[in-house]
Chains A and B, each alone.
Chain A
């Protein structure tokens, strides 16, 4: 089970990495409209 000594710290690093990605997307305004896109995809008619 020695691999745990690598995997556990790695998981901590991964969490921080995810946090950074979220921080980046938050700053980019991707979370400014939380409701619209969910509706938009249902109502989008791309028919020419």
Chain B
């Protein structure tokens, strides 16, 4: 049983036939791929291997970058957009670093960069994953800094969208300021309230009591009118639309309690509720603050759209008479400009091909890595890659008007939806308000007959005691804890209902490509002929494919990261057949069998064709050298995940647009009986409808745009972090880490969350029912009402914290010495949730 065998670097299960090991501190450590090996050894060579002891989550699987575009960042005209001058040779910029999952990552990046000669300052913000880097331009180039970040397994690019970040900063600061005002008001008002609770009648002089009430009032005014302003605004908006949400009872509770206290202060009334108001506002704002943080994290995951757009463009000055180009920053392009795009570059804007013919990788938009052929007159899109040959494009839309910017705006809007507020409590809220108002009025009328002098106060007590603290906190607190807990596992929850839906799913449908499989080619088998080594064959193939951007070339590049490269010259690309080049003066070919057979006379010795495998051949003048099987590899953890889902009684299905043999091979391997191949997007959608008509609650996991309709139809849509952005923008849940394992963890958390939300709601409703009847009966004194209000919220908050109780289960093997770290501050929520207990009255009142 090798279930425990996981890659030392990224934590993915080791492929069965893997033999890669990395030397870290003299210890051989098993890793899953050459990419992880290279990264682990770079980290160890820099003396930074303590990263492995202190990290709390595994790193992402290292993927080699083939888009060798970093040099472009060195050009002064490109740098104008994001580099500031901080001295004669000193430059400063802000980089976004992708792949930071825990504090140790921050440490690793800071140490590694600070150790580079020429880098004078590095500072990484853990929350926003932005690095401020200062360097001496005469000693190191920006591209070298970026390349160094790549070498330790992260990806970095300059942050160009400064406005969005500023807006986010302002929002964060404003929210924190409101929270702090409420918090400090709460603490100090409590100080004034405590003596009143503890003292016997007559212990406190009239004047002192009035002074303390006035002081409480002075401190409560900013809490009510500044900190609680969003609730009043929300309530007003809801009322105008006649759709009361949770803000209405909250605003009503605060307003009535404050009004009654104000009245009591100046007329010498018996009780004031300033302390309860301040505490309630503080609890609510704290819950909202954490919600906002979760939302910003979700939005941050969409940042890498920035990276897709090139920073510079080659504009043609006097086309069609000449081909003179000038380098200009992409931001200063205008629609109508003619731009030359070379192979390997990204298109700087949307446009139409004017001259030339090429193949484009539009995976940014579609998630489909197969290249799309573009002829003259056909549209190309910003952010897609030119793979084959150079073309001239007339720009039609640039900057904010491009298709990819549209996707980005869509995604931002989607993520701006508040996560964590469940519709259930909103639905309860509107009925709750009406019910409480009717109840308060009824009890006031009743008491007018019994004892008119008490009628008003009893109505107020009913309103205060019913102040929906517990009810309004019941769901959001649990959701926020769950969202925080999930985001540490690389799962971004983007929609409110997702957690609830996740807990109740009965069917799980996978799209094959990119979810159960990696979605990219890998070399699965190498069959060298006699007289040639395994590594040498791979190195030869990689040399031939060196200049290509084809997925097959990427596979060879990934397979030969740690093998000494071989130089090939006169590389010639034969479309549809393969490549030909000279190595040491001998002609070599890599490609289809007939193409390579043109060099060799004999028929190759091995001959076995498997479905779903692409086979390419390597030969040189007069001799077969090797054959390679390339395939879209199954994710290593797919089998375990499918088993686990099936064990939990969920029905697992595969719906794919691919051909039957490939789908069947995957389904059989995973033990999935229910699979469909060759489905069109609308087929999938109608199947989904049929399934839902039978009462199934379906979670759909997909990654391409072709899945968008069916994802929208599913109860719960889950996208892979590596998939198309458009899909991610529509998904309820995004598995950012690209690890399927996190799906199972997410379901566990969701089930636990739902249980706790139900407990909370039951408690809140029960408490309110009991408290209301006592209040209406005139048996609750106002101070008791305040205390009941406080404790009921506290119980709800404490209960919600139990969501993350068993959080470390099923997270695989990890380094030593981390437990101490984890207890400190891995969790953004536990560290600081307000748990100030309300002082209980030790001495009962007469």
Contacts and interface: CB of A to CB of B under 8 A. Distances in A.
Contact of B180 (A9, A22, A32): A22
22 contacts: A1-B205, A1-B208, A4-B211, A5-B208, A8-B212, A9-B215, A12-B219, A31-B173, A32-B125, A32-B169, A32-B173, A33-B125, A34-B127, A34-B828, A36-B124, A38-B831, A39-B103, A39-B106, A39-B126, A42-B54, A42-B821, A43-B104
A45 to B, nearest CB: 8
B185 A15 contact: yes
Q: Give the size category of B's interface with A.
A: 35 or more
Interface string B189-222: 0011000000000000101100110010011000
Given A35-B126, A43-B54, A8 B211 contact: yes
B225 interface: no
Contacts of B173: 26-27, 31-32
Contacts of B169: 32
Interface string A11-44: 1100100110011001100011111101110110
Interface of B: 50, 54, 103-104, 106-107, 124-128, 169, 172-173, 176-177, 180-181, 184-185, 188, 191-192, 205, 207-208, 211-212, 215, 218-219, 821, 824-825, 828, 831
A14 to B, nearest CB: 8
A12 B218 contact: yes
Given A12-B219, A31-B173, A39-B821, 4 more contacts: A22-B184, A35-B103, A36-B127, A39-B106
B92 to A, nearest CB: 16
B106 A36 contact: yes
A34 B297 CA distance: 14
Nearest to B821: A42
Contacts of B825: 35, 38-39
Contacts of B184: 15, 18-19, 22
Given A12-B218, A32-B125, A32-B169, A42 B824 contact: yes
B215 A23 contact: no
Contacts of A19: 180-181, 184
Contacts of B219: 12, 15
Nearest to B180: A22
A31 B176 contact: yes
B176 A26 contact: yes
Contact of A26 (B103, B104, B177, B828): B177
Given A26-B173, A39-B103, A15 B188 contact: yes
B43 to A, nearest CB: 14
Contact of B126 (A4, A5, A12, A36): A36
B206 to A, nearest CB: 12
Contacts of B172: 32
Contacts of A33: 125-128
B208 A4 contact: yes
Given A18-B184, A19-B180, A35 B828 contact: yes
B127 A32 contact: yes
B107 A43 contact: yes
A39 to B, nearest CB: 3
A11 B191 contact: yes
Contacts of B103: 35-36, 38-40, 42-43
A9 B207 CA distance: 13
A12 B191 CA distance: 11
A30 to B, nearest CB: 11
A38 B215 contact: no
Contacts of B215: 8-9, 11-12
Nearest to B169: A32
A47 to B, nearest CB: 11
Contacts of A12: 188, 215, 218-219
A7 to B, nearest CB: 10
B181 A39 contact: no
A18 B208 CA distance: 24
Contacts of A1: 205, 208
A44 B3 CA distance: 35
What 8 pairs across the A-B complex have the smallest Cβ distances? Answer: A39-B103, A36-B126, A38-B825, A35-B126, A43-B107, A33-B125, A15-B188, A8-B215
A42 to B, nearest CB: 6
A45 B54 CA distance: 13
B217 to A, nearest CB: 10
A31 B211 CA distance: 35
A34 B296 CA distance: 14
A38 B824 contact: yes
Contacts of B211: 4-5, 8-9
A5 B185 CA distance: 20
A3 to B, nearest CB: 11
A1 B208 CA distance: 9
Nearest to B825: A38
Contacts of B188: 11-12, 15
Contacts of A42: 54, 103, 821, 824
A20 to B, nearest CB: 11
Contacts of A5: 207-208, 211
B315 to A, nearest CB: 39
B588 to A, nearest CB: 49
A36 to B, nearest CB: 3
Contacts of B104: 39, 43
Contacts of B124: 36
A45 B50 CA distance: 11
A28 B106 CA distance: 22
A10 to B, nearest CB: 10
